[in-house]
A and B are shown apart, each in its own frame.
Chain A
Amino acid sequence: DVKVTQSSRYLVKRTGEKVFLECVQDMDHENMFWYRQDPGLGLRLIYFSYDVKMKEKGDIPEGYSVSREKKERFSLILESASTNQTSMYLCASSLSGTLYEQYFGPGTRLTVT
């Protein structure tokens, strides 16, 4: 089974802190994704990566950056956390040829106070 793990299930940070969310997948997938999920808004894509060191902006990249130094790991960085970044963050991965079939991690619920 594909396994996507995220570094924390729950995280509480203060406004202005730099926040790192880590995601690791164990199936040698080329594609990796970061989404945020908010009530009534569904999942919105923040960034994705289709190869090591490659990244593309999703629908809501403002306030976020990403890093992919190794194929199995994709990090989401909040440079200066703000309260409107309080959300559920979901990481996903997929093979390059099966973008429609993404495997999701359990999510990190981030609260910024």
Chain B
Amino acid sequence: LAKTTQPISMDSYEGQEVNITCSHNNIATNDYITWYQQFPSQGPRFIIQGYKTKVTNEVASLFIPADRKSSTLSLPRVSLSDTAVYYCLVFGPGRRALTFGSGTRLQVQP
């Protein structure tokens, strides 16, 4: 099971772009990278998944370099409502469960 490492916390200001990098050095060939977001007093919410290169949706972009040993979640022009904990997970076929780490606590200030 690939272990992930991400910063414990990050601070930003409204309107800035935020990039959260996750390290997963022993990612397996068939593993995918998945990110969740958790607001205070709520359960986590799936936001994006990718295998390689770049994936974009209405919430975020996910950048994965060719070696796939890391990934970067990019949040464009954050607002106060993006204050949350962001979890990076690595998941592959045949696995029955996700493993959540401690995540990155993003604090967006006015």
Chain B, interface residues (CB within 8 Å), range:
20 to 34
Interface pair A100/B34, CB less than 8 Å apart: yes
Chain A binding surface, main DSSP class: strand
Given known contacts A100-B34, A106-B43, is B96 in contact with A56 (CB within 8 Å)? yes
Please give me the residue from chain A that is nearest to B103 by CB atom: A42
Number of interface residues, chain A, beta carbon within 8 A: 26
A67 within 8 A of B: no
Determine the chain B residues whose CB is within 8 A of the CB of A99 once the complex forms: 91, 95-98
Interface pair B43/A100, CB less than 8 Å apart: no
A104 contact from B32, B44, B97, B102, Cβ within 8 A: B44
B101 contact from A42, A101, A104, A107, Cβ within 8 A: A42
A/B interface sample: 5 pairs, CB < 8 A:
A43-B100, A48-B96, A56-B96, A101-B46, A106-B41
Write the residues of chain A forming the contact surface with B, with a CB cutoff of 8 angstroms: 4, 33, 35, 40-45, 48, 50, 56, 58-59, 90-92, 99-107
